[in-house]
Amino acid sequence: MKNNCFHREIILVLVLSLGCLLNLKAQQVDTLYIDSSFKKANLIEYSKINGSQPNNKYNYFYFSFKNELNSIDFNIKNLNDKPQNLLLEFSNALIKEISLLKFENGAFIEQNTTGIDYSISNKPIKHRLFAFKIRLQPLETGSYKLNLKKEKGKPLVTSVLIKSESLFNSQSSIQLILLGLYYGISLLSVCFSLFVFYILRNSSYLIYAIYIVFLGLFISSYTGLFSQLFLDESDLFNKYKHYVLFSEISLLLFVVFSQKILEAKTYMPNLKKVIDVLLIILISIRVLIHFFFTDFFEHYVSVFMNLWYSVFLTMVVLITIQIVLYFKTNFKRSSLFTIAYVFMISGVCLTILYHGYGLVNTIFYGLPFIFYSSFLEILFLTFTVILMVKDIYDDRNALSKKLVFEEKKNLYYFIKGEDQERKRISRELHDNIGSKLSYLKRFVEDNIENEAVNDAIDNICNDVRNLSHEISPSDLKLVGFKNAVSDLTTNLSSKTSLNVDFKNYQFPSKLSENTELQLYRVIQEVLNNILKHADAQHIDVQLIGHDDYATLTIEDDGRGFNIKTQEKGLGLKNIASRIQQIGGKLEIDSKINSGTSILITIPI
């Protein structure tokens, strides 16, 4: 059997090529022979179209703008001694009316009639595309006729395949998996862009989400899924019209979204205006043709469709120019968008060439090229959107980094200014007011000789001196850092109920003046904080010198705090900034109800 079949094919090829060479007019159409190994065949090779031989060089049927009713005749012979079940599948899901007739008892008898003007229940089998069952008895030769009715004035393109039942089933399920994958990715992209829209409140992402939804609807109506799933028994809505509507809305959304992505409003406002006008022209032509002036346009469909195609092409060129211009602004986004755009445009252009002029075949593995191209388009557009979001977050991060840096810088200058001002006031108190008080005291002593006034002035002298010292340790170099810290702790112990214990273990004496001043102010600040917030009884302040670094430890037995949840107050930021300024390291370790330990390490 197989050998027979092989021979038959060789002979067929020879005859065909010979026919082509000699330009034979009397080309005989072959009968389709079916044996047990039969998988599929393209009907056009075995058919007569409208009663004459096909001179179609493509492997699909193309009926141009003019004629309305078309018929296809073919013969099939079953070589088997078993009955054969075959399926006749149309790749075009939007044919107005299809009838299958069989030659029986000297006349063609109608088997089934279906089409988009009929309800789904009229479909011979449940399938997204139109398909007919053909059953052949053992060794039977069947003569069939297909009558195709197309929309008035529009061309019709479809390939018709005859498949064995098993191949039909396996191919259908593979196609359904591919479609499922497409809608899975679409759904993810929609969810993602809606989420981004919710977070960022930028209409681009909402437009993108709606675009994917309508693109999905368009693909579903083009592949026949939509009418199978949603338009079950409804006759109210023409199934060809929803296809047109979805494609127009998708186109509109795509163009709007592309203008957003390319920031056309900012960078190329004039081009955007032209594109907007072209878009309105495109959509009005299509909507008018299909929804309002159907009868009038029917006579001039080819004219209007050609007009539509040329306007569309102009718009494609303009958007391409926009992309090229946008490369300068954002290379990465532009590149990704270009890839998506190329897929979209190639899908649409091939589909136009196929449906409008029958020039190229766009059906691969049972699904149209535009299905694959829009799949890849969505993939790359989603990448583009992800990149857009990343750009925004990068910008925000850079901004917040800058803010943190600015804040640190401001704090640094704030502290520096505060220190300078404190130093000035302290000096003023100590030197100027102190000196004047001394003079006053001596004057009172020598001239008035009043013990009480004298003591009062002495008291004021002491207060001024202490206050001056508290405000700023301007005399650290004179007094010595360790002595100053010792005085500070002693003072705190004597003034409050706190027990402050200061110890010094070989703390270096040769630290710079600034380091000593900052450390002193840190100790002051920490002790102040403990006094204000910690509710402590005992504080340890320890200075310890090592070979190449020194440490300052301040521990209290107060109520402690949670480092992770406690907001950094100005005091703590102040301390951190001072430590950073002298190149030290600050470690705070505190737990609720078990005190706080502050460990500062500074290089020597």
Partner 1 sequence: MDNPPKKILICEDHQIVIDGLISIFNNQPDYNVLDFVKDGNKVLSTIKAKNPDILLLDLNLPNKNGLDILKDIKLHHPQIKVIVLTMYNKENIVKKVKQYNGDGFLLKNCSTEDLLRALDSVCESKIFYLGKGIKNDVVETDGFLEKIRITRREKEIISELMKGNNVPQIAKNLFISSHTVETHKKNIFKKLDIHNSIDLIKLVNEKQLFS
Query: Which listed residue (82, 390, 401, 477) binds partner 1 by CB under 8 A?
Result: 477
580 binds partner 1 (CB under 8 A): no
Distance CA 439, CA 277 (A): 92
CB of 439 vs partner 1, minimal distance in Å: 4
Evaluate whether 392 touches 200 at the Cβ level (below 8 Å).
yes
Applying CB under 8 A, the span of 229-237, 249-257, 296-304, 596-604 interacting with partner 1 comes to 596-604
428 binds partner 1 (CB under 8 A): no
461 binds partner 1 (CB under 8 A): yes
Evaluate whether 78 touches 84 at the Cβ level (below 8 Å).
yes
**Kind of pairing, strands 61-63 and 141-149?**
unpaired
**C-alpha distances in Å from residue 380, one per residue of 208, 251, 321:** 12, 17, 20
Nearer to partner 1, 115 or 473 (CB): 473
Helix intervals (H) in 428-502: 434-447, 451-471, 476-479, 481-495
Query: Which listed residue (67, 137, 306, 432) binds partner 1 by CB under 8 A?
Result: 432
What is Dmax (Cα atoms) for the chain? 153
Any idea which residue has 């008892």 for tokens?
105
DSSP letter for each residue of 214-263: HHHHHHHHHTTHHHHHH-SS--SS-HHHHHHHHHHHHHHHHHHHHHHHTT
CB of 494 vs partner 1, minimal distance in Å: 15
Query: Which listed residue (17, 36, 397, 506) binds partner 1 by CB under 8 A?
Result: 506
Helix intervals (H) in 102-200: 165-200
CB of 561 vs partner 1, minimal distance in Å: 14
Distance CA 184, CA 30 (A): 44
Applying CB under 8 A, the span of 54-62, 69-77, 246-254, 477-485 interacting with partner 1 comes to 477-485
Contacts of 104 (CB under 8 A, 6+ apart): none
Applying CB under 8 A, the span of 75-83, 227-235, 365-373, 503-511 interacting with partner 1 comes to 503-511
Amino acid, single-letter form, for residue 215: L
Q: Strand, coil or helix: what is 62? A: strand
Any idea which residue has 């207060």 for tokens?
463
Applying CB under 8 A, the span of 141-149, 359-367, 441-449, 522-530 interacting with partner 1 comes to 441-449
Applying CB under 8 A, the span of 67-75, 348-356, 372-380, 481-489 interacting with partner 1 comes to 481-489
Nearer to partner 1, 402 or 503 (CB): 503
Distance CA 313, CA 448 (A): 109
Distance CA 248, CA 239 (A): 15
Query: Which listed residue (238, 504, 580, 581) binds partner 1 by CB under 8 A?
Result: 504
Nearer to partner 1, 19 or 545 (CB): 545
Query: Which listed residue (252, 387, 453, 479) binds partner 1 by CB under 8 A?
Result: 479
The closest of 603, 576, 577 to 587, measured between CA atoms, is 576
Query: Which listed residue (431, 463, 470, 535) binds partner 1 by CB under 8 A?
Result: 431
Nearer to partner 1, 124 or 480 (CB): 480
Nearer to partner 1, 248 or 557 (CB): 557
Distance CA 516, CA 316 (A): 71
Query: Which listed residue (331, 393, 413, 439) binds partner 1 by CB under 8 A?
Result: 439
Give, as one character, the DSSP assignment of residue 546: -
CB of 469 vs partner 1, minimal distance in Å: 10
Applying CB under 8 A, the span of 87-95, 242-250, 302-310, 582-590 interacting with partner 1 comes to 582-590
Evaluate whether 496 touches 488 at the Cβ level (below 8 Å).
no
Q: Strand, coil or helix: what is 587? A: strand
589 binds partner 1 (CB under 8 A): yes
Give, as one character, the DSSP assignment of residue 52: B
Nearer to partner 1, 347 or 558 (CB): 558
**Kind of pairing, strands 538-545 and 549-556?**
antiparallel
Question: Which tokens is 236 given?
Answer: 């109210």
Nearer to partner 1, 19 or 434 (CB): 434
The closest of 94, 142, 565, 558 to 351, measured between CA atoms, is 94
232 binds partner 1 (CB under 8 A): no
Question: Which tokens is 220 given?
Answer: 């579903």
413 binds partner 1 (CB under 8 A): no
Nearer to partner 1, 377 or 516 (CB): 516
424 binds partner 1 (CB under 8 A): no
Between CA 99 and CA 106, with CA 104 as vertex, the angle to 5 degrees is: 110
Total residues in contact with partner 1, by rule CB under 8 A: 51
Query: Which listed residue (81, 233, 295, 446) binds partner 1 by CB under 8 A?
Result: 446
Question: Which tokens is 324 given?
Answer: 């090229």
441 binds partner 1 (CB under 8 A): yes
Subset of 520-549 contacting partner 1 (CB under 8 A):
540, 542, 544-546
CB of 546 vs partner 1, minimal distance in Å: 6
Applying CB under 8 A, the span of 87-95, 101-109, 328-336, 552-560 interacting with partner 1 comes to 552-560
- Backbone CA torsion sign across 309, 311, 317, 320: negative
CB of 541 vs partner 1, minimal distance in Å: 10
Binding site for partner 1 (CB under 8 A): 427, 430-432, 434-439, 441-443, 445-446, 457-458, 461, 465, 475, 477-480, 482-483, 486, 501-507, 540, 542, 544-546, 551, 553, 555, 557, 585, 587, 589, 591, 595, 597, 599, 601
